């Protein structure tokens, strides 16, 4: 359990020796299907790790809607400021809101602008997280955790009555009492169960998570990685279990499973080894993921199916070099209807479900089938999925 949820830190250096495949290597959907492409974000000098994360969070509708409501950021008189200093978190949240507003404004206006510059947000982050913004390439997973933790700290003491969204059903948390925006969207619970093999007494321990780190081994799939985390472990030898019922050390069986699933499941693939080299191995990742086999019996079956909706990609060979960019499903962007063009009778609906590549200031569209071929069908590649965002299907 501790291994699968442990915080990992991967620091990359300069954006050097980045090898970008031409978009001509893969078929791109006709522009007649695309009324408008999503906006890019300018790279301010080794800030691609920041841009990749921001792009995903902006297109997660419930998260975006929460951040865009100004009243949600008026928290100084709604929390106990003696518990911790919230000025840093508040400034980061307000700066993020301003960036979202700019993306929203340009997105809704008909003009030729194809990207925005996150200069103000970058300046704010450099002030409070210099170790992540010291002109070196850093890790997108580390930055994602930093940003979510900052926002979670800010709203930790807000109640349901003080939280508003600009859409009626946003951040609904499936009817349960509101916790905070981060926990309601990304937070889940796993239960670790330990059964003594002498007396059969079973104990359980619950633990929350915001993302799950999964091992990468050859061409083993994501399903294998999750199963590897959930596999039963026998505690024996020097690792015997201190049974409270037997009052002695005994052999025991331990395993964990999902007790509560969040609306958005984040999987971090552990690509980087201790010697700073990257595992350029690509595990197969299904578009649709059914979580049933890894869930506790108490989890409702109707809440176990997810669809892959965003991917943060790392391109490079190791910690000392690399580049991050993002693929986002059009189902998140609200930009496009997936209806077929009259001239496209031979094109399947699946083929016309587009994804967007958001690579700094450059954006282009690619079909879902070609994206799967590009990212998941090769046995080894320097263009490797790194963080996967699965959204629960209604």
Q: Is the dihedral of CA 60, 22, 284, 16 positive or negative?
A: negative
Confidence of residue 262 (pLDDT cuts 50, 70, 90): very high
- pLDDT above 90 (res 266): yes
Distance CA 103, CA 99 (A): 6
C-alpha to C-alpha distances, 300 to 30, 141, 179, 303, 305, nearest whole angstrom: 41, 30, 20, 6, 11
pLDDT of 88 higher than 90? no
User: In the predicted model, what is the mean pLDDT of residues 42-50?
Assistant: 91
Prediction pTM value: 0.82
* Residue 186 belongs to domain with CATH number: 3.90.70.10
Task: Name the one residue in this structure whose structure tokens are 């995903």.
Answer: 56
Digit-coded pLDDT (tens) for 169-190: 344 444 443 467 899 999 999 9
pLDDT tens track for 187-242:
999 999 999 999 999 999 999 999 999 998 888 999 999 999 999 999 999 999 99
Residue-range definition of the domain harbouring residue 102 = 2-392
Give the model confidence (pLDDT) of 311-336 as tens digits. Answer: 999 998 776 678 999 999 988 875 43
pLDDT per residue as tens digits for the range 109-128: 766 788 999 999 999 998 88
Q: How many domains would you assign to the chain?
A: 1
- Between residues 64 and 155, the one the model is more confident about: 64
Question: What mean pLDDT comes out for the span 42-69?
Answer: 93
């Amino acid at each position: 359990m501790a291994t699968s949820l442990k915080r990992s830190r991967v620091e990359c250096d300069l954006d050097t020796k980045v090898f970008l495949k031409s978009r001509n290597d893969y078929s791109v959907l006709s522009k007649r299907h695309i009324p408008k492409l999503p906006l890019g974000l300018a790279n301010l000098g080794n800030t691609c790790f920041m841009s990749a994360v921001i792009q995903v969070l902006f297109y997660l509708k419930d998260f975006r809607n929460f951040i865009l409501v100004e009243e949600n950021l008026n928290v100084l008189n709604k929390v106990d400021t003696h518990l911790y200093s919230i000025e840093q978190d508040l400034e980061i949240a307000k700066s993020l809101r301003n960036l979202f507003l700019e993306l929203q404004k340009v997105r809704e206006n008909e003009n030729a602008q194809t990207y925005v510059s996150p200069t103000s947000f970058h300046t704010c982050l450099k002030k409070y997280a210099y170790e992540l913004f010291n002109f070196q390439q850093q890790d997108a997973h580390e930055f994602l955790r930093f940003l979510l933790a900052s926002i979670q700290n800010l709203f930790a003491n807000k109640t349901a009555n003080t939280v508003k969204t600009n859409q009626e059903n946003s951040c609904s948390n499936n009817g349960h009492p509101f916790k905070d925006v981060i926990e309601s969207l990304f937070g889940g619970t796993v239960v670790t169960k330990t059964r003594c093999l002498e007396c059969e007494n079973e104990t359980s321990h619950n633990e929350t998570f915001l993302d799950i780190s999964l091992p990468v081994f050859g061409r083993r799939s994501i399903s294998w990685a999750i199963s590897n985390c959930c596999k039963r472990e026998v505690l024996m030898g020097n690792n015997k279990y201190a049974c409270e019922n037997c009052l002695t050390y005994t052999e025991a069986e331990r395993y964990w499973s999902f007790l509560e699933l969040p609306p958005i499941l984040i999987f971090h693939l552990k690509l980087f080894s201790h010697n700073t080299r990257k595992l350029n191995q690509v595990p197969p990742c299904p578009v649709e993921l059914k979580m049933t086999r890894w869930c506790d019996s108490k989890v409702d079956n109707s809440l176990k199916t997810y669809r892959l909706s965003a991917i943060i990609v790392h391109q490079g060979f190791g910690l000392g070099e690399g580049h991050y960019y993002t693929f986002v499903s059009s189902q998140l962007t609200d930009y496009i209807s997936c209806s077929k063009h009259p001239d496209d009778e031979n094109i399947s609906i699946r083929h016309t479900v587009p994804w967007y590549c958001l690579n700094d200031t450059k954006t282009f569209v690619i079909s879902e089938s070609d994206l799967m071929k590009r990212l998941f069908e090769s046995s080894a590649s320097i263009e490797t999925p790194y963080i996967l965002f699965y959204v629960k299907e209604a």
